[in-house]
Structure 1
Amino acid sequence: MTLAELLGAARRKLAESGVEDAALDARLLVEHFTGTSRSDAIARPDRTIDPRTVAEVEAALARRCRGEPVHRILGFREFYGLRLSLSAETLEPRPDTEVLVDAVLPFMRDVASREGECRVLDLGTGTGAIALALLANVPGAVATGVDISDDALATAARNAVDLGLADRFRPKKSDWFAEISDRYHVIASNPPYIGSNEIAALQKEVRLFDPLRALDGGDDGLEPYRIIAAGAASHLEQGGLVVVEIGSTQRLEVGSIFADAGFRLVRALSDLAGNDRVLVFATA
């Protein structure tokens, strides 16, 4: 089978199964398993693909047709220009979360320039996406990535090594602030924020393949924010910031939770679709 034939067959298979973005997913899977690129498809469409590789692609396509997200199959996803490995107990990082990184980078650069170091606490670190993106863009920053999952912590640590950031990243097993004693200039989190009764209505790519613990925010989806708001002040340096990702309808509720805990809203940011996505707080 030629590369062009394999790409065409992959597109058709995914489209017939009702996969959105069938052409993109087909290309990503074919390129990954064949070791080719978009330029190869243009310059060498008649390149022969060996039967073993074709079988690997077909197995990957079958997984995608069953609903498994393409990046789960690939085993990695790009986030803020970084390639991050995924594992069973890590949330797949989404582009919307890059808004959170953008929100605090100027502040962190200022702190690092002024004090020689900026300390970050990433609660629910997962793949390490937030912490590692911040470290990659602020050489004077150090980060502690907190998670309750050993699998997630191992994945975050591996990503830090792969990105050359391990000397500034410390994985820490903790149930939120339970095992944390230090103070930080930035406390960041993309916590679970979906109501328990809403999980069943999620797309199967999310419901069946993202870890439930990274999705379920309790009965009203707000329980993690109550925990963060209650514990943040005792772990925040004077003048520090707390920055959280939120669900698109949660701005008022999350703002109220933090206000009741003695914080003021400094900034609210929207995602690429214009939905409320990130809130930045400072002590009142």
Structure 2
Amino acid sequence: MTYREAIKLGESILQKADITDAKNDAWLLLAMACKIDRTYYYVHMDEELTTEQTREYQSVLKKRAERIPLQYITGEQEFMGLTFHVNNNVLIPRQDTETLVEEALKIIEPGMKVLDMCTGSGCIIISILKNTTDVTGYACDISKHAINVAKENAKINNVFVDFERSDLFEKINDKFDVIVSNPPYIRSEEIPHLMPEVARFEPMEALDGKEDGLDFYRRIVKDSKTHLNDNGILLFEIGYDQGTAVSDMLKYAGYCEVKVIKDLAGNDRVVMGRIEKR
């Protein structure tokens, strides 16, 4: 089988498995399995794969056809122009979450302390630190496996983050100038109906926002004020239909300057509010 034939075979297998971007996934899996880039492919497309390459390519195609996310197979995902290691212990970083980082960067200044709650892969706090100077980064997650992935990503991207395994604020004693969070916010009953890559393979504890999807927002808002400095700011990623509910929570808790920010697709994506000087 030549490289050209391998791409066609992979595309056919993945199309039958209802993979949306079958051709692109087939190429990425071939590149990984054969350790080649596009330049090599175009020069050698009619050359035969080795037995080892064929075996490895068939193996990863089988995984993808089972709807295992491409990023869990390749082991990486790009976010904010940076590369992050991912596995099934963490959510795959998504472009929607870049809106949260971009809004945080607008208000973070040198000398500030920033906490990323429910950090997962660490993509939020690491991206913030890569785009700021003289900012101290902290992050927590209830999953020790997620914390291990986040620590690896901090090393990969050459930033220092103080990580803590904690059930939300349980083991957090400091105060911060900014708290950012992308907590679980999918309604429990909706999870089985998500695409198979998400419902079957991404970590349930990072998806499930309980009955109405708002459980973690309530818990974080309730305790956040005692962990923010004067004029401290809380920023959340939210689901597209949660803007009103989460902004009302912040207002009720005494936050001011509460606002909802849309993502590039025009959906509500971030809610933020400020604690007034006490």
Give the one of 258, 261, 268 matched to 1:276.
268
Match of 1:80 in 2: 80
Rounded to whole Å, the distance in 1 between the matches of 2:264 and 2:54 is 37
Query: RMSD of aligned C-alpha atoms?
Result: 1.3
Q: Is 2:38 the counterpart of 1:44?
A: no
* Aligned residues with identical type, % of pairs: 35
Match of 1:254 in 2: 246
SS of the residue aligned with 1:278?
strand
CA shift at 1:265, angstroms?
Answer: 4.3
Letter in 1 for 2:204: L
CA shift at 1:2, angstroms?
Answer: 2.2
Letter in 2 for 1:118: M
Structure 1: which 4+ aligned runs deviate by more than 4 Å? none
Rounded to whole Å, the distance in 1 between the matches of 2:29 and 2:74 is 7
Contact 1:87 1:151 in 2 (8 A): no
Q: Is 2:127 the counterpart of 1:133?
A: yes
CA shift at 1:253, angstroms?
Answer: 0.6
For 1:139-160, what per-residue CA distance to the aligned partner results, in whole angstroms no more than 9, with x for missing partners?
3122111001110011100111
For 1:204-261, what per-residue CA distance to the aligned partner results, in whole angstroms no more than 9, with x for missing partners?
1100011110011111100100111111111112222111000000001111111111
For 1:113-137, what per-residue CA distance to the aligned partner results, in whole angstroms no more than 9, with x for missing partners?
xxxx221101010110101000111
Instruction: Tell me the TM-score normalised to structure 2 length.
Output: 0.95
Match of 2:224 in 1: 232
Rounded to whole Å, the distance in 2 between the matches of 1:213 and 1:63 is 23
Do the aligned partners of residues 265 and 192 (structure 1) sit closer, same or farther apart at CA in structure 2, a change above 3 Å counting? farther
Rounded to whole Å, the distance in 1 between the matches of 2:50 and 2:183 is 44
Rounded to whole Å, the distance in 2 between the matches of 1:265 and 1:69 is 39
Match of 1:210 in 2: 202
Q: Number of residues paired by the alignment?
A: 276
Letter in 2 for 1:83: T
CA shift at 1:74, angstroms?
Answer: 0.9
CA shift at 1:264, angstroms?
Answer: 2.6
Give the one of 144, 149, 152 matched to 1:150.
144
SS of the residue aligned with 2:201?
coil
1:153-232 equivalences under 5 Å are: 153-165=147-159, 168-232=160-224
Match of 1:19 in 2: 19
Letter in 2 for 1:7: I
Contact 1:265 1:279 in 2 (8 A): no
Q: Is 2:26 the counterpart of 1:32?
A: no
Instruction: Tell me the TM-score normalised to structure 1 length.
Output: 0.93
Rounded to whole Å, the distance in 1 between the matches of 2:21 and 2:67 is 13
Greater alpha carbon shift after TM alignment, 168-177 vs 33-42: 33-42
Rounded to whole Å, the distance in 1 between the matches of 2:9 and 2:95 is 29
Rounded to whole Å, the distance in 2 between the matches of 1:144 and 1:95 is 22
Rounded to whole Å, the distance in 2 between the matches of 1:177 and 1:95 is 27
Contact 2:99 2:270 in 1 (8 A): yes
CA shift at 1:79, angstroms?
Answer: 1.0
